[in-house]
Amino acid sequence: MLVHLSIHNYAIVDHLDLELDAGMSAISGETGAGKSIMLDALGLCLGDRADSGVVRPGADKADILASFDLAEIPEARSWLAERDLDSDGPCILRRVITVEGRSRGYINGSPCPQADLKALGELIIDIHSQHEHQSLLKSDTHRRLLDEYAGSQELARQVQLAAQRWKQTRNDLQRISSQGDEQRARHQLLSYQLEELENLALGENELDELEREHKALSNAEALLGACRQVLELCSESDAGNVLSALTASLNRLGAFGGQGGALGEASNLLASAQIQVEEAVGELNRFVDHFDADPQRQQYLEERLDTIYTLARKHRIQPTELAALQQRLFEELESLNADDQASERLAEELAAYARHYQEKAAELSALRGSAAERLAAAVEQEMQALGMPGGRFSIQLQSMNSEEPQANGLETVEFLVSANPGQPLRGLAKVASGGELSRISLAIQVITAQTSRVPTLVFDEVDVGIGGPTAEVVGQLLRRLGERGQVLCVTHLPQVAAQGHQHLFVHKRRGEEATSTAVSRLDENGRVEEIARMLGGVDLTEESLAHARKMVTSAQAA
């Protein structure tokens, strides 16, 4: 429960420290004193949106701190433990808003995003306000309240998630299917192009070898003539050749054998040249003897090269890039094949999600159907106690008959009411007046709060539009809720305030330069005086004091 609330420089609050107890705490005060400011500040600690306008004029920041005892809230303790935010002692939520509009949140001293404050806040406190009267006209509110009463919020979340997964998978499948004709045409083209390249079967270095051999065959006659001319010059010419000249030169120098120095070196070089020329002649002879100027081979080479060049031109690339093109086409074709496999997989997933949705949605429908009868009966009983004798209340579950999974389940939820005997049940927006709507809203809030696992309940002027004997019943209902946990109730009705286990009085404290809001915990005499003021105005009379004392005494005795 909420055990401490500290507010600094928020709105007209300068400094406020408030200790809170279990049971029902009635909060009252003069109009404009700031009764709801405390709850607004508390809302900031629970993740509500903030702006710089909430900072007290003259201050640089507003600082709000709320301490909670989580001993009876295992869900909240688990939430903190999962995020390493737990600590010994109370859980402390803090919110700081600067005059520039920046906002910072803290959980047990650790910085946290606003969403975390909101998520934790939903586990530890439940705030009901007069604004819920209007939200009660919306079907989304009807569904939410029924699910809260049935305890099926988690199942409803699973149904919503299953519907979202189904729709996402359906969209993915449609996206792939819409590309089907285009993909099939592309698949056919790629298969044909890849088949051409595979049939070409171009080797790794084949192109270079083909071009080299083709060049050699194209110049066969000129090459053979050149080889024969070189052989003639080196060894076969009768008029003189290189080998003959080298042999004669060595013989002439050999006649002066024994000469060293330059002459000896020259003789060695000539001998080496003779050996190299003889080897060159041998190589040329072998080339000439084995050279095959096969015209059929040359034709094959020309046809093979023409096929390669033509295919390269077809794809507008260089012949050397054909191998890389073949790899790219193969990878793209594999990707298209993967899309076909993905389509089959998505179709299977879609069917599985549909089955899962139907299973969870049917389970949710059963819980809603069972809870709707109980909730309708309980609300109808409270309506009659709240000054609507003969009033009837019903919850209609209307099947949507949709072929597609819907995020909210298989049915719509609508609250139907008959405010007066003899009138047919109709939608709330069509039959309920402002006062009737307030009482119906309060009846629903009280009933749903009884099933809430959140021990701290806040009611902010939910008794607007209610008076007379009905107001006393409202107070008794809220006191009954307070006996099972903690209820904070901002009220302007003395009949409600008298039912509180404790009473907090909000008032303005006027200084020489500024006005601020203060909160006092009233003792028994102060409480009687405040209730007397609520009954009869500023001037207290013996009659109003006696009436107020009787109201407080009766509530405590009950």
8 Å CB contact between 452 and 422: no
Instruction: Give 396's strand partners.
Output: 414
Of the candidates 77, 60, 59, 56, the residue with the CA atom closest to the CA atom of residue 68 = 77
Average pLDDT over every residue of 360-380 = 94
Q: Are 93 and 45 in contact (CB under 8 A)?
A: yes
Homologous superfamily of domain range 1-130+461-521: P-loop containing nucleotide triphosphate hydrolases (3.40.50.300)
Residue 12 has pLDDT above 80, yes or no: yes
The tokens for 250 are: 């060595």
- Mean pLDDT value of segment 484-513: 87
- Which 3-state string (H, E, C) describes 215-229? HHHHCHHHHHHHHHH
Residues 244-254 pLDDT 10s: 888 888 888 87
Q: Boundaries of CATH 3.40.50.300 in the chain?
A: 1-130+461-521
Mean pLDDT to the nearest integer, 253-266 = 76
Q: Which residues of 481-502 are buried (b: 16+ CB within 10 A; e: fewer)?
A: bbeebbbbbbbbbbbbbbbbbb
User: Which pLDDT value is given to residue 446?
Assistant: 78
At residue 26, does pLDDT exceed 80? yes
Q: Which two tokens stand for residue 387?
A: 């000054």
Neighbours of 371 (CB within 10 A): 19
Better-predicted residue by pLDDT, 309 or 541: 309
Closest-CA residue to 553 (of 498, 506, 514, 508): 498
Instruction: Please give the helix or strand (H or E) that residue 300 lies within, else none.
Output: helix 295-314
Mean pLDDT, range 180-191, rounded to an integer: 69
Beta bridge mates, 65 = 6, 94
What pLDDT does residue 359 have?
95
Nearest residue to 128 (alpha-carbon basis) of 488, 489, 459: 459
Rg (CA), the chain: 49
Whether 409 shows a pLDDT value over 90: the answer reads yes
**Apex 483 CA angle, 461 and 131, nearest 5:** 20
- Region of poorest pLDDT, from 69-78, 147-156, 157-166, 253-262: 253-262
Please determine, for residue 355, whether its predicted confidence score (pLDDT) is greater than 70. Answer: yes
What is the model's pLDDT at position 410?
94
Measured in whole angstroms, how far is the alpha carbon of residue 56 from the centre of its chain?
36
How high is the mean pLDDT of the chain? 85
Exposed, middle or buried: residue 374 (CB in 10 Å: 0-12, 13-18, 19+)? middle
Residue 430 clears pLDDT 80, i.e. is over it: no
Which residues pair with residue 91 across a beta bridge?
A: 68
375, 149 Cβ separation under 8 angstroms: yes
3-state SS record for 325-386: HHHHHHHHHHHHHHHHHHHHHHHHHHHHHHHHHHHHHHHHHHHHHHHHHHHHHHHHHHHHHC
Helix 220-231 / helix 206-218 crossing angle, nearest 10 deg:
70
Q: Are the C-beta atoms of residues 81 and 87 closer than 8 Å to each other?
A: no
Query: Average pLDDT in the 85-93 region?
Result: 91
* Separation of alpha carbons 464 and 476, rounded Å: 16
Is the per-residue pLDDT at 188 higher than 80? no
Share of the chain above pLDDT 90, in %: 31
Q: What is the pLDDT of residue 90?
A: 92
pLDDT at 455: 79
Distance, CA of 45 to CA of 43 (rounded, Å):
5
